[in-house]
Amino acid sequence: MVKEQRGHFMWSDAQRPLLIIDGITSGAKVTLNKMAEKSAASAGLTDEQIHELVQKSHQAKQKAYAPYSNFHVGAALHTEDGTIFTGCNVENAAYPVSCCAERTAIFKAVSEGYKSFRAIAIAGDVESEFLAPCGSCRQVMREFGTNWTVYLTKPDLSYRAMTVGELLPCSFGPEDLDKPKVKGQ
């Protein structure tokens, strides 16, 4: 189940709205709250922890170095033990050596010995839709598993929760290197 918090729709995995939040009855609100709690629990985070993670991603965005694209991105990564690492995008005049916010946060965590993550929140300045990570960042996230949560956010701090596996289906990961290979080639 994918959810949009403080928004207008609950989304199914098929990207169809399940419930329009505006104008729902009190009984439906109870059901909606239970669905939101279940979704938040999938990352093992409380609503307060999710809010903190989303806020920290937006704070990290303020530190972005983006003189060429002017596209500022921040990320906040929640490790299994609750440590939060932040990152921002860092551009370079030689464009290919720039680094995205998500990879900056993950690389900071790995450099400190962390390799198990519960969630990451990604922040940008796009108001009309949730900011999703680029393909390179999705693959770096995938290196550390498919069943951890990615919070795609908007500037108003609303978010949409997905797993890494939902963002990068049919992915290639470390376990693929151990699969049997054709001999003699």
Q: How far apart are the first and last CA of the chain?
A: 43
- On whether the CB atoms of residues 79 and 50 are closer than 8 A, the answer is no
**pLDDT single digits (tens) 103-127:** 999 999 999 999 999 999 999 999 9
pLDDT for the residue 44: 86
Whether the per-residue pLDDT at 131 is higher than 70: the answer is yes
pLDDT for the residue 184: 76
pLDDT for the residue 47: 94
Give the amino acid at 20.
I
The verdict on whether 102 is a catalytic residue reads yes
pLDDT tier, 25 (very low <50, low <70, confident <90, very high otherwise) = very low
For 50-181, where are the E strands, in sequence order? 74-79, 84-88, 117-123, 149-153, 159-163
Q: For residue 63, give both structure tokens.
A: 């530190």
Percent of the chain's residues with pLDDT above 90? 74
pLDDT for the residue 126: 96
Residues whose CB falls within 8 Å of the CB of residue 181, separated by 6 or more in sequence, listed in order: none
**pLDDT single digits (tens) 45-82:** 999 999 999 999 999 999 999 999 999 999 999 999 99
pLDDT for the residue 28: 38
pLDDT tier, 39 (very low <50, low <70, confident <90, very high otherwise) = very low
Catalytic residue from among 80, 102, 112, 166: 102
